[in-house]
Amino acid sequence: MAEELIVKGQSKREKYLVLLPQIKALIEGEKDVIANMANVVAALNQTFHFFWVGFYQVKEEVLVLGPFQGPVACTRIQFGKGVCGTSWKERQPVLVPDVNQFPGHIACNSASKSEIVVPVMIEGEVVAILDIDSDEFDSFDATDVIYLERICALLAKTF
């Protein structure tokens, strides 16, 4: 999807530029990471109205479902499994334009068509995963990667 795409008068990039300082202000004075993850997903959803947006936290060598908005989802994901487990293993964002083309994709909801996963890192270690699903194909691009990484970096400071 083109970065220049205009949604309700603002490009995706413009929306992220408005959202970033809001998220920074929301979380920088709060030490509770669950509260911060909850507000980050709410802020993202208020701006973009995603099909599903949420966090998985690394807990004792497994990803465990954290704060999210959207339909009910899988509660635990193993290292290296699915898009989330792959992002954790690779320590990199993973962009999936068509979930049917991603081997091992975990379908928590059959309506999900494309997905982006960005790790929350502290000193090179993944502590959580931000997962966003769309019910349309090809919803995410490099712009999402850039700004979601910045949001995850802000959040990492509160872990």
Interaction site with ligand SME (CB under 6 A): 52, 73-74, 77, 82-84, 105-106, 108, 112, 115, 131, 133
Tell me how far CA of residue 3 lies from CA of 7, 15, 54, 101, 146, in angstroms: 11, 11, 23, 23, 12
Pairwise CA distance, residues 64 & 4, whole Å? 35
Among candidates 155, 93, 98, which has minimal Cα distance to 127?
155
Q: How far is the CB of 70 from ligand SME (least distance, A)?
A: 7
- CA separation (Å) from 34 to 11, 89, 119? 30, 23, 16
Least separation in angstroms between residue 129's CB and ligand SME is 8
Give the CB-nearest residue to ligand SME: 82
H-helix or E-strand spanning residue 14? helix 12-27
Q: With respect to ligand SME, which residue has the nearer C-beta, 76 or 157?
A: 76
**Is the Cβ of residue 111 or residue 121 nearer to ligand SME in the bound state?**
111
Query: Shortest Cβ distance from residue 109 to ligand SME (Å)?
Result: 7
Which of 27, 108 has the CB closer to ligand SME? 108
Q: Shortest approach of ligand SME to residue 82 CB, angstroms? A: 3
**Pick 68 or 147: Cβ nearer ligand SME:** 68
When the beta carbons of 50 and 147 are compared against ligand SME, the nearer one is 50
The CB-of-104 to ligand SME minimum distance in angstroms stands at 7
Sheet containing 76-78, strands listed edge to edge, beginning at the edge strand earlier in sequence: 76-78, 62-69, 52-59, 125-134, 114-122, 94-96
